[in-house]
Structure 1
């Protein structure tokens, strides 16, 4: 069966006209409109300070899972996730519980998007322990193992180098079967893409000339671990220009589809502007003919 490309929206900014008292209503409208427009997914960043590529650190930034829970209550179909959770920002048992809660309350629409974390400035600012990169990857792998164990219903003790869970009970269980899909963000060839092949249901890559190579590396890792490459959903993120037209967005989607991307997430720096979600809704309607290579 030919599967058309999926279209998602990332909301990286909560700087909206009217100030903080308008954040809730405006973000809620964005979520409802994206849901009604037929977008496949809605994503927020897992940051506590705004990141430099979007704006000054002092700009408004919502806690990710609280924002997603709010969006879940206002929507019916769109899937919801972080692009992506910082691996060391939450204890893994509580993280799995949080994503499970989102999945249950949303009717089975949650993702676990996760990565090794990179923003040491915000971690230091709020006093979040932020170990060196090698250790963050070690912790990320243990978190992935814990997630698989908890979502399988296995309550036996988990003993790792960094985490110890005496009884990883997870009740209620997630609604999504076999579990909320795990997406790993990042393009590191030795560690990140290996973890995708071994543990994830999806990867997320940046818009870059190196993207085809990254997919080739992922294919090689899949072969090493005996995993069908086709099982993994390939997603990518691309900034949606403020003056983009439907035709330009469709051309972007087609370019990614030709490279084998299954889901394209458009990141809008001004998602509150009236034309953004309707434009992506038109892209969804017209993207039925865009079939990713390999699908």
Structure 2
């Protein structure tokens, strides 16, 4: 079982002067301690559950680009990019640049987007849900084309690109694609059709994740996709530091379902100290699952 750290809030103590210090310290602990993935959110405004728009929120890819320069090993991603936030061609270029600058450590996490207030607030169009899923599928096709040898045009219902040129290409030829979300009819079917990985929430515990994975398996069967080729990841809502035994038991059960990475949200109070405890206490107990 690999572990990831999701840096979901920048409202650390005295954040006005220490935000960057807390971020760097936590990322370096993750990088040096064997954490597999370090993620931040892709939002213009902070979510209401974390205090709302008047709490600090850094722009996602700017943040990952900065972290690429202060880390060496940990993989970097947004959890997840909203399809409405950037035009697809620009997104492919941004993620490719991150992969090159991090020497092959970027991952593209993407989803259909949902936070209407931040779109309205900054004047970004927010189409209906059905259209956002259409745009998500076209965006995936565009980024894959831009990372391929095909630099010709793309003609879609929502996006038209005259030339899909992207140089330099990602270090590995393409960047691994993770689709976030767990909608059974559209999202998980899109995972089966396009993604290298999925990311599921653990709000309903192990039974909830098991149900979603069964739906994913059915979509894979229908599309003749190898279910085992898709990496199963979760955003774990427990705390491995506060409840270490519960965490280990949960990871054993998730591992039995085929989950190979669990990301956890760093607390605002002292994220670097928490990350240190995760590395020293939690990771050794689950890394061989």
TM-score (norm 2): 0.94
1:154 aligns with one of 126, 150, 153: 150
Tell me, yes or no, if structure 1 residue 121 matches structure 2 residue 117. Answer: yes
SS at match of 1:275: helix
SS at match of 2:23: helix
Name which of structure 1's ranges 67-76 and 269-278 shifts more when overlaid on structure 2.
Answer: 269-278
> Which residue number in structure 2 is paired with residue 19 of structure 1?
15
Tell me, yes or no, if structure 1 residue 253 matches structure 2 residue 248. Answer: no
Name which of structure 1's ranges 66-75 and 243-252 shifts more when overlaid on structure 2.
Answer: 243-252
> Which residue number in structure 2 is paired with residue 70 of structure 1?
66
SS at match of 2:49: coil
1:35 aligns with one of 31, 34, 47: 31
Q: Do the aligned residues in 1 keep the contact of 2:239 with 2:264 (CA within 8 Å)?
A: no
- Give the distance between the partners of 2:236 and 2:50, measured in 1 at CA: 13
Q: Which runs of 5+ in 1 are unaligned?
A: 291-295
- Give the distance between the partners of 2:51 and 2:236, measured in 1 at CA: 17
Name which of structure 1's ranges 209-218 and 268-277 shifts more when overlaid on structure 2.
Answer: 268-277
1:181 aligns with one of 167, 176, 185: 176
- Give the distance between the partners of 1:252 and 1:15, measured in 2 at CA: 29
- Give the distance between the partners of 1:272 and 1:44, measured in 2 at CA: 16
Tell me, yes or no, if structure 1 residue 218 matches structure 2 residue 216. Answer: yes
Tell me, yes or no, if structure 1 residue 141 matches structure 2 residue 137. Answer: yes
> Which residue number in structure 2 is paired with residue 286 of structure 1?
285
Q: Do the aligned residues in 2 keep the contact of 1:28 with 1:70 (CA within 8 Å)?
A: no
Q: Which runs of 5+ in 2 are unaligned?
A: none
Q: Output the aligned Cα RMSD.
A: 1.5
1:96 aligns with one of 92, 99, 120: 92
The Cα of 1:243 is off from its aligned counterpart by 6.0
- Give the distance between the partners of 1:68 and 1:272, measured in 2 at CA: 20
Q: Do the aligned residues in 2 keep the contact of 1:246 with 1:279 (CA within 8 Å)?
A: no
TM-score (norm 1): 0.93
Tell me, yes or no, if structure 1 residue 10 matches structure 2 residue 9. Answer: no
SS at match of 2:3: strand
> Which residue number in structure 2 is paired with residue 58 of structure 1?
54
The Cα of 1:93 is off from its aligned counterpart by 0.3
The Cα of 1:85 is off from its aligned counterpart by 0.4
Q: Given the superposition, is the C-alpha separation of residues 95 and 191 from structure 1 closer, same or farther in structure 2, using an over 3 Å criterion?
A: same
